[in-house]
Structure formats: C-alpha cells, structure tokens
A = this chain, B = another copy of it.
C-alpha cells in the first residue's frame, strides 16, 4: 500500500529509525516475535492440560526458587485470584511445592518439584533453541542491542526490578 510517510516534518533530525513508520514496525516486530515465541510451549502445555498461565508460573518459580506468592504476583501483574487457579493446580498435581517461610511463617515459599523441573525443561527447551538460533544468526552486537532496547521498553518503575531479577548472575 505504500503511503504512511508518517509526518512530513521529520521531527527527529534525520534519525530514520525514529520515523513514525519505523516505530510502528518496532511495535509489530514485537507482536510477531511474541506470537511465534509462545507457539512452541503452547503445544507442549496442551498435552498437560495446561495453558500459558501455568507456563509463566512454572517459569518464574523455576527461576526464583523460594520466592513468595507476593513476589510472583508482582512479576506476573495479575490478581491473586487469577494466579490462585493455576498455582493451586500446579501444587495439586505435584509440579510446585509450597513451604512455610521460616522467617515469616505467613509466607508460602514456592519451588519446583522434580516433576516441575522436568516440565520447566521441556517448556524452556524449544524457547532456548529458538533464542539460541536467533542469537547465533544475529551475532553478539545485535544481541546487545536487542537486550538494550527491550530493557528500555520497560516501564521505568519496573526496569530496576526486572534487570535485577534477570541479571542476577
């Protein structure tokens, strides 16, 4: 369709990557990547009778063993009622273990069981392969750029927390 030259005013001083059309492309790329990215785990989840919400819980508990329910809620940004459904299932079916906190006994510290770890592996495997392939094809510099832009896309208030959780190496 051509068209959509964004604006004729070039408010960015000639940085073509800041043109309206480029920005929209940036939006769409994220949509497409996310769409394809979730497709592999979705297939696997179906065989367990689980959905995407279960995946997210398994993933973040797997990555943050001993985390509390409140912390998980802060990452997922859903209500506790919404989390409750999937978390209860995962606990009932033996994928996730809950342990009372020793310092604060109100807390339920979450961790993966052996069974949960297997599921975690199974789900992350195709995603890791996908990312590895993309990283390999794109090269180290592109990867750095990818990570930088994604970090800058986050809500400012969240950035610190995410970078901490994602970069505790």
Contacts and interface: CB of A to CB of B under 8 A. Distances in A.
Contacts of A23: 127-128, 131-132, 135
A101 interface: no
Interface residues of A, number: 68
Nearest to A136: B18
A92 interface: no
Contacts of A124: 24, 27
A131 B158 CA distance: 16
B168 A2 contact: yes
A9 interface: no
A16 to B, nearest CB: 8
Contact of A28 (B2, B63, B137): B63
A131 B152 CA distance: 8
Interface in A130-163: 130-138, 140-155, 158, 162
8 contacts: A18-B132, A26-B131, A26-B147, A27-B124, A29-B166, A36-B158, A133-B152, A138-B152
